[in-house]
Amino acid sequence: MRIAVCLELGAGLGHLCRVEPVVRLLQRNRAAITVVSPAGADSREVLGALDVELRPAPPHGPRAEQAAAPSHTYGQNLRRNGYGDEHWLADTLRRWVALLGELAPSLVVTEHAPAALLAARALDLPRAVLGTGFSLPPDEVPMPGLQPWFRVPESYLQTAEAATVADVNRGLTAAGLPPIQAVRDIFAGARRFLCTVPELDHYGPRPSERYWGVAHSSPFSARPRWPSGGRPRIFFYLGGGHRHLDGLLGELGKRRLAALGYVPGLTRPDRRALARDTVRLAAEPIDSAWAPATCDCVVTHGGSWSQAALLRGKPVLALPQQLEQAVWSYRAGAQGLATVVSILDRAPDWHRRISELTSAALRDRVAAFSGRYTQRFPHGCCGAELCAALLPKEHPAPREAPQQLDETDDDIRRNV
């Protein structure tokens, strides 16, 4: 049995870390896995230890004239990612059809890959979708508003829906594929696996859908020594070039708090320039199960690291850089589960933000949230059950196994 796991949109390690535990469980059932991803080097870094075939996904990216378009709905966000360009979309769809036709998989599993879904739909292949709330929107017509800080009129949503359907259908027609009637038809016929929890859903709780927990793996093994410094210990993971990196590390250094983190793309001189007496930057990705087990708080963008940290009971300071992270951060912040620096805030009050992050009030709220899910999702996501639902009925699912660590948090702390 061959399974094609397809990724398309999104950057960073989060999307790959979401599919890695699922791929690992499927492999234990002797499935042959092909992972199709635009993130070549990152794919090898995250999935290199697994016996999978890696294929490059068709290239993607917004066209210059579309990059500044509004993004109030899922469909408008697709337009910002090139789906309003008939020729690009048609070419991308043809490439996905050719690739999936060549692989002839028994199942197509997608993570933020709408073009792959449309190709699988045209080929009538069994398919499933893994996604957060952002990448797996509600099954509604029209698509609801995506940005919770705006009240969008129904008439606007209907107009946006019609425009997206027209955009996508132009590409589908040019590629010789069947049209859609609504944006939700992109997901039609696919089994839905919403990999989050209601409180952290970008669209808010969905009573009619099942939540499978936060899928987030720990494929990295680096466990650097924590620098000397005061408690609480702060773990940080931010993208290279993040505009708030220097301000954040300056405040942590000023307070002489022990801080350890990883920032992709930094050179050794970059890391030395940013380091402080009590702030250390690792040279390679850090074990994402070890880090929250040994720290007290987490600073990150508001993506998969943030969700995993909250489920482990660690308060979060979110520094979003793009829409998906900003919406998640808004939802978490509105419920008192994170302190958030707005994506529009260019000069944060770092003293205030670090004080909020390390406060007893935030720690207690996050502990109560984490406690609600400890029994239901002991490893963050009900992996074996999800695997069983993915596999065809004639293929039994593998037994559950710890997806992150054999050690307990106490074991880890004793070894730090």
> For residue range 359-391, what is the model confidence (pLDDT) as tens digits?
999 999 999 999 998 877 766 666 677 878 888
Q: Measured between alpha carbons, how far is 109 from 74 in angstroms, rounded to an integer?
A: 20
State whether 190 and 338 are in the same domain.
Answer: no
State whether 145 and 28 are in the same domain.
Answer: yes
pTM above 0.85, yes or no: yes
- Does residue 363 sit within a domain? yes
Please, are residues 236 and 316 in contact by the beta-carbon 8 Å criterion?
no
- Does residue 329 sit within a domain? yes
Please, are residues 29 and 397 in contact by the beta-carbon 8 Å criterion?
yes
State whether 170 and 60 are in the same domain.
Answer: yes
φ and ψ at residue 405, rounded to 5 degrees: -140, 150
Quick: pLDDT tens for 122-152.
999 999 999 989 999 999 999 999 999 999 9
State whether 194 and 241 are in the same domain.
Answer: no
- Does residue 89 sit within a domain? yes
State whether 74 and 163 are in the same domain.
Answer: yes
State whether 13 and 158 are in the same domain.
Answer: yes
For 212-334, where are the alpha helices, taking DSSP H only?
245-255, 268-274, 290-294, 304-311, 323-334
pLDDT at 178 over 70: yes
Please, are residues 271 and 296 in contact by the beta-carbon 8 Å criterion?
no
Rg over alpha carbons for the chain, rounded to the nearest Å, is 21
Q: 360-373 and 304-311 are packed helices; what angle lies between their axes, rounded to 10 degrees?
A: 90
Domain count, the chain: 2
Residues 6+ apart with CB under 8 A from 159: none
Please, are residues 195 and 140 in contact by the beta-carbon 8 Å criterion?
no
Quick: pLDDT tens for 61-112.
655 455 557 899 999 999 988 899 999 999 999 999 999 999 999 999 999 9
CATH number at residue 192: 3.40.50.2000
State whether 177 and 249 are in the same domain.
Answer: no
Q: Which domain holds residue 257?
A: 230-373
Which of 17-31, 57-71, 338-352 has the highest average model confidence (pLDDT)? 338-352
